[in-house]
Amino acid sequence: MTVSLDYDEYDLGSMTWEDAETAIEEADFAVLPLGSVEQHSLHLPVTVDTLRAENLSRELVEAADDRDLSMVRLPTLPYGYSEHHMNYPGTVTLMADTYQSVLEEIGESLAAHGADRLAFVNCHGGNRSPMKLAADRIQRDHGVEVYPIHWTDYARDQLEAEFGDEWGHAGDHETSVVELFHPDLVREEKKEPQTRKAEFEARQFAYFDDLTEQGGWGDPTNSDPEFVERVVADATERILDALESDVDAVE
């Protein structure tokens, strides 16, 4: 299941409007997980980023409770800005301005219901630029503090130390995450080192198949879900440290 309907008490999807009225106003953060539907090479499903957003945001919200941080988790937004993957079948994209508008309007809705802070938990690189622009507009136009969290930034040092430089899209890292949370969705017989077609110094590539043959980076056969489980725990704590630090800085 791409987006879980097995709700916990912190999930907006489980609440009535009366529950939501209280929960949103009282929460320290509303949390919006951000994914995508796009190709992830030959061995992973197109929902990798959405699966990551769903599971990693759950880890975050549950760990926040140990710090007495109250969070309301919104349903995961499964579609993102993935135009650069459109040459691979199965990719479904919103345009960047559409994606920005969607995030702005979600923020506007939360502002109307009394939210003070909104954390984006993003698991797709293509979402970063429109997410940042949406955060600017939500803060300036609607008075909600926005925390754009690109999850991988909080795990980058550990992932590079373990997997080297090309652990990213559909590679060592993402394969490990899917094996950790949804091992049944990994085509083990299709895992193979990814073939780099080009590496540009200055040019902006147009589509991802300009760069890679199968659709990914690195070597998925190096996946290590037990290692990534430790990374998930460490990155979760780092994100919570950053959120607490930022809240303290403006109080």
- Residue 3 is predicted with a pLDDT of 58
177, part of any domain? yes
Check: CB of residue 12 under 8 Å from CB of residue 72.
Answer: yes
- Residue 251 is predicted with a pLDDT of 67
Q: What does pLDDT average to over the chain?
A: 95
> What is this structure's pTM?
0.95
- Residue 1 is predicted with a pLDDT of 43
243, part of any domain? yes
- Residue 6 is predicted with a pLDDT of 78
128, part of any domain? yes
Kindly list the distances between the CA atom of residue 159 and the CA atoms of 55, 104, 241, in Å, as whole numbers in the listed order: 18, 32, 19
143, part of any domain? yes
**What gap in Å lies between CA 170 and CA 219, rounded to an integer?**
9
39, part of any domain? yes
CATH number at residue 56: 3.40.50.10310
Average pLDDT over residues 102-117: 98
Please write the tens of the pLDDT for every residue from 211-225. Answer: 999 999 999 999 999
4, part of any domain? no
- Residue 249 is predicted with a pLDDT of 85
- Residue 199 is predicted with a pLDDT of 86
Query: pLDDT at residue 2 above 80?
Result: no
Please write the tens of the pLDDT for every residue from 170-211. Answer: 999 999 999 999 999 999 999 999 999 988 889 989 999 999
Please write the tens of the pLDDT for every residue from 151-177. Answer: 999 999 999 999 998 889 999 999 999
Alpha helices in 69-127 (DSSP H): 96-112
2, part of any domain? no
- What's the DSSP call for residue 176? H
106, part of any domain? yes
Counted domains in the chain: 1
Query: pLDDT at residue 53 above 90?
Result: yes
- Residue 245 is predicted with a pLDDT of 94
Listed in order, strand segments (DSSP E) in 9-136 are 29-34, 71-73, 117-122
Expressed as residue numbers, the domain containing 219 is 12-250
